Structure 1
Amino acid sequence: MPDDTRAQTTAEPLLTRFPPPGGPPAGRVLVLPALGVPARFYGRLAEQLAARGLEVAVLELRGTGESPLTPARHCDFGFRELLDEDIPAALRTLRAARDGLPLWMLGHSLGGHLAVITAGRMPDEIDGLMLVACGSPWRGAYAGATRRRLDAICALIPVCNALLGYYPGHRLGFGGRQPRTIMRDWRALARSNRYAAAGIREDLEAGLARFAGPVLSLRMADDDFAPQAATRAVTAKLPAASLTEAVLDGAALGTAADHFRWARQPDAVVTRIAEWMQKAGAAS
C-alpha cells in the first residue's frame, strides 16, 4: 500500500527569483514569508531590492500560496521540514553559482524566526539577517487585547488540531490554514520564547550565539504583533551579532505602520536595507 501521507507532505521548495536588471548581482537575498502569507505578497519588495543590484529569491512556505500541499489531517508538517529541508535546499540553489557573493536572509514575522534559527545552525553560510516586523509571539512581550488574542489562539490550536487535524486560520483570522505540527511548534514558542521543533533533537537556542554577522531589525511603529518588547525578545537571542534597530512610522512608510501593509509600499523598508548594507560593506 503506498505511503499517501508522505506523498502529500513532501514537495520541492518553490522559489520565485528576481534578478537585478542591470548586470551581475552584488549579493543575494533569500526572503522568508510570514505565517500563511504567499510569496507573491513580497513581489514589490523583491523587485525594489533587485533594482538595487541584488538577486532576490522568495521562498513559498509549504502549504501556502502556490504550494501543492494543503494542510489537513493526512497532510502534516512542522518547523522541522522548513528548517531541515526547504530552507537548506533554497540556500543551496542560491549558492550554486559558487561566485563568493554575500548571501543574506530577510524574514518577515515567522520568516524572521526561521532566518534566525538557520543563521544559528549555519553561521558560516549566512552573511547577514534582515528581520522585518519580526516579534516573538511570547505572551510575556504583550499586554491588553493583543495578549488576550494570543492566549485565545494558543487555546484554540490543540482543540482545532484534535477536531479537524489542522488549524483553520483562514476562518479564524490568523495565520491562514496551517498543519497541526507547525501550530504546535508556534504555540510552544508563544508559551516559552524558546526555539524548538518537533522532530529536531538539537538545541536550537544553543547555536544562536555562534552567529556574529550583522542583523537589521525593522519595527513598524503601530504593529500590535511586533512591539518593541517582542522584537527585542528575538534579537536578544543573537548576543554575538552586530545589531542595528530602526522604527518606521506611517509618515516614513506612506501607509499604516502595521504588521503587513509595509510590504505593499516597501520603499522606506528597501531604502533602510540598502543604507544598512552599504554601511556593512555588503552591497553598494
Structure 2
Amino acid sequence: MENSPTITQTEAYSLSIMTDRNQALAATVYRPKTPVKKAVMIAPATGIKRQFYHNFATHLAEHGFGILTFDNEGIGESLSTDLAKCDASLISWGRHDMSAVLDALQDEFTDATYHLIGHSAGGQLIGLMPNSQSIASVFNVACSSGRIKNMDMPYKLKAIGFMEAFIPLTNLTLGYTPSDKIGMGEPLPRGVARQWREWCNGAGYIKTAFGKSIHTHFYDEIDMPALWLGFSDDEIANSKNMDDMIRVFTKMPVEKRFLDPKDFGVSSIGHMRYFSSRTNAKAPKLWQMAIDWLHNQ
C-alpha cells in the first residue's frame, strides 16, 4: 500500500565524520523540517560519490526520512592524500567507514530508528560493521556477489579483462586503479581494487575472504528484515549472483524482487539507474518501493 505523498521541506548540510582509522569522511545530511522517526544511511557502490544519490536522498527526505550520504575513504571528497598512498580496502570501508557513518546517523537523529539502503557494495559490506545490530532494516539495490563465473557473455569478457588485466596492471604501474577511465566510477585505492578482484573471482563474494583476510565478521548474526531489488538487465547483479550474496547472510530474512524494467515502462535500469531521477520520473513506483519499505519497518 502506498503512503500519502505528503512533501515536507528539507535542508541539506555537509558533515565530516571521523573513523577509528583517523580518517575524515565527507558526508551530507538531508534533514526534513518535520520530526524524524526513521533515519537512513545510504551506503554507496564501489567508487561512487555521494552526489550520485542526491536526488534520491532529497526525495526520501521530502517524505520525512532523515538521510545521510557519504564518500568512502579514498573516494571523492574523502580522499585526503595521494591516491597511490591510500591504504583503504573494501574491508576497511565496511568495518570502519560504514560503522562510523552509522554512529553519525545516530548522533544526527537521536530519536529515530536506523535503516540502511545499500547499493551494490554498500549492501555487501554490512556484515563487517560491528554496530550492525543497530540497523532496523535493510533495502538493497543491485547487491550481489558480482561473481564473474555467473555472468553472461559478452559482458563476462569485459569483466575478466577489467579484473585480470586492468586492475593488476594499473595497481602495479600507478599504485591505484583508474576505473574512471573506463566508466566505472571514481579511481580506486589499490587495496579496494585488489580485494574487489579477489572476491569477484571467488565463491560468495566476501565469503572468499573468511578465515583469510577476514577473521571477524557478523554475517552469521545479522537478522534484520531486508528487501533486495534486482533488475533483469543488470549484467553484474544477475539473479544467480544475488542469490550468491544473500546466502552469505545466513540469518537475514530476505524478500527478493527481481524486476523487468519494461514492466515499469523504462527501457533499462541495469546496475546504476535505479537512483536516477529520470528513472523515477518515468517509473515512480520504483522509488516508492523504498518509501513503502521504510514506512512499514
Deviations 1:208-230 (A, max 9, x none): 12111101101123111211111
Query: Which residue is 2:121 aligned to?
Result: 110
Which of 193, 202, 208 in structure 1 is aligned with 2:215? 202
Query: Which residue is 2:101 aligned to?
Result: 90
Between the two proteins, what is the percent identity of the paired residues? 22
Which of 113, 134, 137 in structure 1 is aligned with 2:146? 137
Query: Which residue is 1:13 aligned to?
Result: 25
Q: Mean alpha-carbon deviation: is it higher for 29-38 or for 263-272?
A: 263-272
Q: What is the CA-CA distance between 1:100 and the residue it aligns to?
A: 4.9
Asked if the contact 2:36/2:111 (under 8 Å) is kept, the reply is no
Q: Report the 3-state secondary structure (helix = DSSP H, G, I; strand = E; otherwise coil) of the residue aligned with 1:13.
A: strand
Query: Which residue is 2:73 aligned to?
Result: 62
1:124 aligns with 2:126: no
Q: What is the CA-CA distance between 1:273 and the residue it aligns to?
A: 1.6
Query: Which residue is 1:149 aligned to?
Result: 158
Shift in alpha-carbon separation, 1:35–1:201, aligned structure 2, 3 A: closer
Q: What is the CA-CA distance between 1:50 and the residue it aligns to?
A: 1.1
Distance across 1 between alignment mates of 2:99 and 2:127: 13
Q: Which runs of 5+ in 2 are unaligned?
A: 1-20
Q: What is the CA-CA distance between 1:109 and the residue it aligns to?
A: 1.3
Q: What is the CA-CA distance between 1:167 and the residue it aligns to?
A: 0.7
Deviations 1:177-220 (A, max 9, x none): 1111011111111111342499954243xx31211110110112
Q: How does 1:18-97 map to 2 (within 5 A)?
A: 18-21=30-33, 23-69=34-80, 72-96=83-107
RMSD: 2.5
Distance across 2 between alignment mates of 1:233 and 1:201: 18
Distance across 2 between alignment mates of 1:42 and 1:215: 20
Distance across 2 between alignment mates of 1:200 and 1:28: 32
1:260 aligns with 2:272: yes
Distance across 2 between alignment mates of 1:117 and 1:84: 5
Q: If the length of structure 1 is used for normalisation, what is the TM-score?
A: 0.84
Which of 168, 178, 194 in structure 2 is aligned with 1:168? 178
Shift in alpha-carbon separation, 1:98–1:31, aligned structure 2, 3 A: closer
Which of 272, 277, 280 in structure 1 is aligned with 2:289? 272
Shift in alpha-carbon separation, 1:198–1:28, aligned structure 2, 3 A: farther
Letter aligned with residue 27 of structure 2: L
Q: Report the 3-state secondary structure (helix = DSSP H, G, I; strand = E; otherwise coil) of the residue aligned with 1:226.
A: coil
Distance across 2 between alignment mates of 1:162 and 1:198: 26
Displaced runs of 4 or more, over 6 A: none
Q: Report the 3-state secondary structure (helix = DSSP H, G, I; strand = E; otherwise coil) of the residue aligned with 2:154.
A: helix
Query: Which residue is 2:17 aligned to?
Result: none
Query: Which residue is 2:15 aligned to?
Result: none
Q: If the length of structure 2 is used for normalisation, what is the TM-score?
A: 0.81
Asked if the contact 2:229/2:256 (under 8 Å) is kept, the reply is yes
Shift in alpha-carbon separation, 1:98–1:223, aligned structure 2, 3 A: closer
Shift in alpha-carbon separation, 1:51–1:45, aligned structure 2, 3 A: same
Shift in alpha-carbon separation, 1:100–1:29, aligned structure 2, 3 A: same
Asked if the contact 1:123/1:212 (under 8 Å) is kept, the reply is no
Q: Report the 3-state secondary structure (helix = DSSP H, G, I; strand = E; otherwise coil) of the residue aligned with 2:28.
A: strand
Letter aligned with residue 145 of structure 2: S
Q: Which runs of 5+ in 1 are unaligned?
A: 1-8
Q: Report the 3-state secondary structure (helix = DSSP H, G, I; strand = E; otherwise coil) of the residue aligned with 2:134.
A: coil
